[in-house]
Amino acid sequence: MHLNRILALICLILVWSAAASTARTQEHETRPEAASPEVPAIVTEHQIRVGGEVISYSATAGYMPLMTEEGELKANVFFIAYTRSDVADISNRPLTFSFNGGPGSSSVWLHLGALGPRRVLMTTEGEALPPPYQLVDNEGTWLEFSDLVFIDPVETGYSRPAAGEDKWQFLGLEEDVQAVAEFIRLYTTRYERWSSPKFLAGESYGTTRASGLAGYLQQRHGMYLNGIVLISAVLNFQTLRFHPGNDIPYALFLPTYTATAWYHKKLPADLQAGSLEAAVEAARSFARNEYTLALTKGADLSSAERQQVVRQLARFTGLSEGFVAEADLRVSQPQFVNELIGDQGLRTGRLDSRFTGPRPVEGGEGFAFDPSYSAIQGPYTAMLNAYVREDLGYESDLPYEILAGSRVRPWNYGSAGDGYPYVADDLRQAMEQNPALRVLVANGYYDLATPFFATEYTFAHLGGDPSLRDRVHMTYYPSGHMMYIQEASLLELQSHVRDFVHGSLGGGM
Strands 42-50 and 53-67: antiparallel
Cα–Cα distance for residue pair 176/421, rounded to 1 Å: 14
| pLDDT confidence of residue 387 | 98
φ and ψ at 345, to 5 degrees? 75, 20
Bridge partners of 77?
Answer: 64
Cα–Cα distance for residue pair 19/457, rounded to 1 Å: 69
pLDDT of 84-114, one tens digit each? 999 999 999 999 999 999 999 999 999 999 9
- Read off the pLDDT of each residue in 229-240 and give the average, rounded to a whole number: 98
Which CATH number is 42-238+377-504 given?
A: 3.40.50.1820
Burial of residue 276 (number of CB atoms within 10 Å: 0-12, 13-18, 19+): middle
φ and ψ at 173, to 5 degrees? -55, -55
| pLDDT confidence of residue 416 | 86
Q: Provide the phi-psi class of 293: left if phi over 0, else alpha when psi is between -120 and 50, else beta.
A: alpha
Q: For residue 94, give the nearest of 103, 110, 83, 108 by alpha carbon.
A: 83
pLDDT of 197-216, one tens digit each? 999 999 999 999 999 999 99
Cα–Cα distance for residue pair 348/314, rounded to 1 Å: 17
Alpha helices in 328-444, H assignment, sequence order: 333-339, 371-390, 405-408, 424-433
Residue 14 has pLDDT above 80, yes or no: no
CATH 3.40.50.1820 domain position(s) in the chain? 42-238+377-504
| pLDDT confidence of residue 443 | 98
Strands (E), 185-256: 198-204, 227-233
| pLDDT confidence of residue 23 | 39
Q: Taking the CB of residue 44, how many other CB atoms lie within 10 A of it?
A: 13
pLDDT of 133-190, one tens digit each? 999 999 999 999 999 999 999 999 999 999 999 999 999 999 999 999 999 999 999 9
Residue 301 has pLDDT above 70, yes or no: yes
- Read off the pLDDT of each residue in 304-318 and give the average, rounded to a whole number: 98
With the CA atoms of 172, 173, 174 and 178 taken in that order, what torsion angle do they form, in degrees rounded to the nearest 10?
A: 80
Helix or strand holding residue 287 (H, E): none
| pLDDT confidence of residue 154 | 98
Burial of residue 7 (number of CB atoms within 10 Å: 0-12, 13-18, 19+): exposed
| pLDDT confidence of residue 417 | 80
- Read off the pLDDT of each residue in 446-467 and give the average, rounded to a whole number: 96
φ and ψ at 67, to 5 degrees? -115, 155
Q: Assign 369 a pLDDT band (cuts: 50, 70, 90).
A: confident
| pLDDT confidence of residue 25 | 35
| pLDDT confidence of residue 29 | 32
In DSSP notation, 252-278 reads HHHHHHHHHHHHTT-S-HHHHHS-HHH
Q: Assign 37 a pLDDT band (cuts: 50, 70, 90).
A: low
